[in-house]
Amino acid sequence: MSTTLDVEELHSTKSEKLLAFVLVAFLLIGGVWSYQEIDDRVRSSIELGAPTAAEAAALERRDQARQRLFGATQRQARTRREVEFRREEFRAAVDADRPAGALERRYRAAQEAFAKAQVEQREARRALAAARPAADVAGRSVGSRMEERRDRQELVTFLLRLALVLVSLLAGYVALARLRNRNSRYLPLGGAVLVFATILAFVLAGDYLTDYFNPLDSGLLLLSLMGVLATLAAFWALQRYLSQRLPLRRVRRGQCPFCAFPVRDGGRCEGCGRAVVAPCSRCGSPRRVGTAHCASCGRT
């Protein structure tokens, strides 16, 4: 046997609330995993792309020229130090009137090595200068292509994450509405789905909006404004909901739809004096104010 109750008269037990909370936790685990998995799947499906053979060859030539110049510069610095050392050694021997023939030959050899290192350094610089234009063009082309694909990755990831949030919100609202219309005891579970979708929406908003501004810059003022707006929106939604549900509930209980005073026989409320019976806008028959359907024509 089933008993039909108004949803507002249902009192969820602590066990039902606990299970709804547990459902939210597990939904969040799966939702966060899906949220991150979307990014991983998109990155694996839309690769940044490798340079073409010509671009890779141009970049390789530039890298080799840079390595050659680096090595030549190191050798030029080393041979310069060798020249300075051999020169001082040779001069010291000459000033001391010691035999300096071997020292002179070492000094001349160091000078020749230094000259060769200078020539090699100049050639390496010319090779790098020759390889740089084509490499710069290839680098800009590869960078532009990678940036384009990176933008595509981010766009596809955002759209899929947005779709996940919207589907979750829609599923939450639909489940909550259907369970409410059916006066179901499973209503807390529908609310859990909606809470999960709302949290996921905040995750999405925080993930992408913080790329454009830092919410901590405005400090407590921003937090206060957001709290005020959220509270006002919730209060407005609650008042709208109550204005639609309260009159029907009061009529079911035999109360005035305006002030909830018990209604007796008569066309006006004894509590507020307002009319509780009015002609139907469709058929003109007397109709209790606040009822969902007319007793004569059945219209809303």
Q: Of 168, 195, 212, at which residue does a domain stop? A: 212
Domain with 288, as residue range(s), is 220-300
pLDDT at 109 over 70: yes
Separation between Cα atoms, residue 209 and residue 219, nearest integer Å: 16
Both 12 and 87 in one domain: the answer is yes
Do 149 and 203 fall into the same domain? yes
**Close Cβ partners of 204 (under 8 Å, ≥ 6 residues apart):** 35, 161, 162, 165
Domain shared by 176 and 244, yes or no: no
Supply φ then ψ for residue 189, to 5 degrees: -70, -35
CA-CA-CA-CA dihedral for 39, 43, 45, 48, to nearest 10: 160
- Do 35 and 171 share a structural domain? yes
Region 46-55: what's the mean pLDDT? 80
Instruction: Examine the domain organization and report whether 66 and 175 are in the same domain.
Output: yes
At 94, the pLDDT band (50, 70, 90 cuts) reads confident
pLDDT digits (tens, 9 = 90+) for 178-233: 887 777 778 788 888 888 988 888 888 888 876 666 655 665 666 677 768 877 88
Length in residues, the chain: 300
> Is residue 2 situated within a structural domain?
no
Of 187, 212, 237, the residue that ends a domain is: 212
Taking the model in full, what pTM does it have? 0.55
Looking up tokens 């020759």 gives 130
Distances (CA, A) of 239 to 197, 233, 235, 243: 23, 10, 6, 6
Question: How many structural domains are present in the chain?
Answer: 2
The percentage of the chain sitting over the pLDDT mark of 70, rounded to a whole number, equals 88
If asked whether residues 31 and 165 sit together in one domain, one would say yes
Q: Which two tokens stand for residue 89?
A: 């050694």
Residue 5 above 50 pLDDT?
no
Which two three-digit tokens encode residue 186? 């499973």
Q: Strand 277-279 relative to strand 286-288: parallel, antiparallel, unpaired?
A: antiparallel
The rounded distance, in Å, linking the Cα atoms of 109 and 73 is 19
Residue after which a domain boundary falls, among 179, 212, 245: 212
Q: Do 240 and 191 share a structural domain? A: no
In a domain, 155, yes or no: yes
